Structure 1
Amino acid sequence: MTHDDARARVRAFLIPQLAGRPLADSDDIFALGYVNSLFAMQLALFLEKEFGMSLGPEDMDFDNFRTVDGLVRLVTSKAAV
């Protein structure tokens, strides 16, 4: 799993939620109001299904979910295990 592949797949999932608003990979999607806590659960389920990974309690750090960069870091770190 490359960073670029993970980034493209995460961004493709987020695009409908953004409703055309711009998003940098380091933007906090929660602070900007683009997503809410319910969507965070959808995001976790997406990661597990899309990348064939299992998220544990240690992965549920909010920093893993607030930016595209954080999501990519989580996905690629789990793929390396």
Structure 2
Amino acid sequence: MQAIQAKIKTFLSKFFGNHDLQPDEDIFSLGFVNSMFAMQLVLFVEQEFQIAVENEDLEFENFRTINSIANLVERKTAVLAQ
């Protein structure tokens, strides 16, 4: 889980400048997220972790924090492993 979180934080840090983003910090409430960034985030998650983000996965709760994105990745990769 920590490796997943680290990759997500590294990606997000490119967009958040000097802000030290915390694992449970709401990226939407910080005001950095627009629809274009949201699309980039989904593409990053799909490509980096080799998963498909389905329509039912496209909820704010799945992408609100580093931890929630990591949890989504873990759920999706657990399904693939079965």
Q: TM-score, normalised by structure 2?
A: 0.90
Deviation track 1:25-81 (CA, whole Å, cap 9, x = no partner) reads 111111111222210110000011000001111110111111101100000110100
Contact (CA 8 Å) 1:26, 1:69: kept in 2 or not? Answer: yes
Aligned to 2:16: 18
**Correspondence 1:61 to 2:59:** yes
Give structure 1 stretches of 5+ with no counterpart.
none
Q: TM-score, normalised by structure 1?
A: 0.91
Q: Distance in 1 between matches of 2:15 and 2:26?
A: 14
More helix by share: 2
List structure 1 segments (4+ residues) > 2 angstroms apart after TM superposition. Answer: none
**Correspondence 1:4 to 2:2:** yes
Q: Distance in 1 between matches of 2:8 and 2:49?
A: 10
Q: What is the Cα-based RMSD across aligned positions, in Å?
A: 0.9
Q: Distance in 1 between matches of 2:15 and 2:22?
A: 14
Q: Distance in 2 between matches of 1:38 and 1:57?
A: 17
Q: Select which of 50, 57, 78 maps to 2:48.
A: 50
Which gives a bigger RCO, structure 1 or 2 (Cα 8 Å, sep 6+)? 1
Which letter does structure 2 place at the counterpart of 1:20? N
Q: Select which of 61, 68, 71 maps to 2:69.
A: 71
**Identity across matched positions, percent:** 43
